A and B are shown apart, each in its own frame.
Chain A
Amino acid sequence: MKKTLLVVIILIASACSAQQLQVSYVSDLNIGHMVPGANKHISENSSDAGKFVITGNGSVMTVSVSFNFSRTISGSREEMPVKYSASYSTGSGDNRKGVLFDPYSGTTLTFDGKTREYTIKLGALLKAAAVQQAGVYSSPVIMIINVISN
């Protein structure tokens, strides 16, 4: 009985001290109202940007972050072209202006005891057709985090 208990304790301690990555999806990329035929740009630094937070646990590690996007966002019957933009900043503060990067090719983030958290913000540029159907449009977003330091 004592042996079993000891093993469990060691496993828990090991899991707590190991390098870990936490990915949080904090807020939607909100386009809001659009006018047919007009562009709409949501800056990656605006409050309407989509927001992710990647958190380490103080361990030293380097990760690459990139995205897979669809080229369009889709409504029930129509599509609309979209081009995304992104920025990153350390910490999770909402108002910081981040460092721009191309979300299609990605960026590299280094974690350590001082830098435990990065915020990634996603913006978008859309152009609605002159006759664009009203409705809710949506888009799949795949965020890929690769540990490259091991």
Chain B
Amino acid sequence: MKKLFDILIILLIAGSVYAQVTVAPVTLHMSDADKNGYIVIKNNSKTASWEVSILMKFGYPVSDSTGKTYICFPETENESDPSAVDWISFFPRKFILKPQEEQTVRISAKPKDLADGEYWGRPVVTSHPVISIDDDNGEKINAGVGVEFRTVIALNYRKGNVYTGIRFDTLIAAYENGKFIVKSNFSREGNSAYLGNLVIKIFDESGKKIKEMRQDISVYYSLNKSIEIPAEKLPKGRYTIEASINTDRDEPGAKILKGNTASRKIIVTKNQ
């Protein structure tokens, strides 16, 4: 008879039932007039201490051919890359948070001879539980390998005359399997990222709006965006998809750079 054996994957310190880490804010806008910022990191856990470290990488949102957005972290930086990594510093960069404790991390910018424009970085807040391993008894099995959280936030530094704009390159749409699939492509203009909203409205043949969806969008260079809008049990007919991108964001504490609004329309026919 085969022997049963116990296997337990332990993702965190045993006994640490509920662990939480909060990072705020998740976007930092800095400028020549505002060279200092801060992030607050809090350990909401009641039992575990967490070790936190911060580093910054150069990165920005990009998309693949399917319209999925992800952050690109180039392996090497070119001189033309608008990177803020070398002259932004964090203090402290590494610390321990006891249960219920929080730490304000101060951010300081010391740029030198920058051309006008926007400079980017992605602060990476890494946190994991502090683990005490019993080294005295080699016969014991240590279960100290655990969960690690990496919260990657955005940092933009604006120097001098900054401006942004957007070009709405293409819009295609289809109705498949009970949903509208809307794919759009954008190119940024100006010298700063375009942070805004993509608003999609769908109208039936009578001009009545039957669906509306709004998503936030950030275009650093160019971006493909694919959005699925559920719309089951629609009658046959022609539907007008109206897509619009703008910078009218309602974002507390943020300093959104205003840019142009661009729109496109397309008609989708539902035959079945």
Q: Which of A24, A61, A137 contacts B19 (CB 8 A)?
A: A24
Q: Is the CB of B22 within 8 A of A22?
A: yes
Inter-chain contacts of B148 with A (CB < 8 A):
140-143
Inter-chain contacts of B151 with A (CB < 8 A):
21, 23, 145
Q: Is the CB of A62 within 8 A of B253?
A: no
Contact with B along A8-32 (1 / 0, CB 8 A): 0001001101111111111111111
A4 on the B face (CB < 8 A):
no
Q: Is the CB of B11 within 8 A of A139?
A: yes
Q: Which of B4, B71, B217 contacts A146 (CB 8 A)?
A: B71
Contact with A along B6-22 (1 / 0, CB 8 A): 11111110000111111
Contact with A along B164-182 (1 / 0, CB 8 A): 0000000000000000000
* Given A19-B251, A143-B148; A134-B6 close (CB under 8 Å): yes
A125 on the B face (CB < 8 A):
no
Q: How large is the interface on A (under 10, 10 to 19, 20 to 34, 35 or more residues)?
A: 35 or more
Q: Is the CB of A28 within 8 A of B12?
A: yes
Q: Is the CB of B216 within 8 A of A25?
A: no
B229 on the A face (CB < 8 A):
no
Q: Which of B20, B38, B145, B250 contacts A22 (CB 8 A)?
A: B20
Q: How far is the CA of A144 from the CA of B125 in the complex (A)?
A: 10
B2 on the A face (CB < 8 A):
yes
Q: How large is the interface on B (under 10, 10 to 19, 20 to 34, 35 or more residues)?
A: 35 or more
Q: Which of A19, A29, A126, A135 contacts B5 (CB 8 A)?
A: A135
Q: Which of A19, A34, A80, A137 contacts B25 (CB 8 A)?
A: A19
Q: Is the CB of B5 within 8 A of A132?
A: yes
Q: Output the least CB separation between B49 and chain A (Å).
A: 14
Inter-chain contacts of A90 with B (CB < 8 A):
none
* Given A33-B7, A148-B61; A60-B216 close (CB under 8 Å): yes
B73 nearest in chain A by CB position: A146
Q: Which of A37, A144, A148 contacts B2 (CB 8 A)?
A: A37
Q: Is the CB of A60 within 8 A of B21?
A: no
Q: Which of B21, B27, B147, B215 contacts A141 (CB 8 A)?
A: B147
Q: Is the CB of B7 within 8 A of A126?
A: yes
Q: Output the least CB separation between B141 and chain A (Å).
A: 5
Inter-chain contacts of A15 with B (CB < 8 A):
24-25, 38, 40
* Given A31-B8, A33-B5; A60-B250 close (CB under 8 Å): yes
Question: Which residues of B from 1 to 56 have beta carbons under 8 Å from A?
Answer: 2-12, 17-27, 38, 40, 44
* Given A33-B4, A134-B5, A147-B153; A140-B252 close (CB under 8 Å): no
A57 nearest in chain B by CB position: B24
B99 on the A face (CB < 8 A):
no
Q: How far is the CA of A147 from the CA of B23 in the complex (A)?
A: 12
Q: Is the CB of A145 within 8 A of B149?
A: yes
- Can you name 11 extra interface pairs (CB under 8 A) apart from A32-B6, A143-B149? A18-B253, A19-B27, A22-B44, A25-B147, A28-B9, A29-B11, A50-B11, A73-B9, A124-B9, A147-B26, A150-B218
Chain A residues with a Cβ under 8 A of chain B:
11, 14-15, 17-37, 40, 50, 57, 59-62, 64, 73-76, 80, 106, 108, 110, 124, 126, 128, 132-150
Top 5 A-B pairs, shortest CB-CB distance: A20-B24, A18-B25, A134-B5, A150-B154, A149-B216
Offer 7 A-B interface pairs, CB within 8 angstroms, sorted by A.
A15-B40, A22-B22, A34-B5, A61-B26, A62-B215, A142-B150, A149-B216
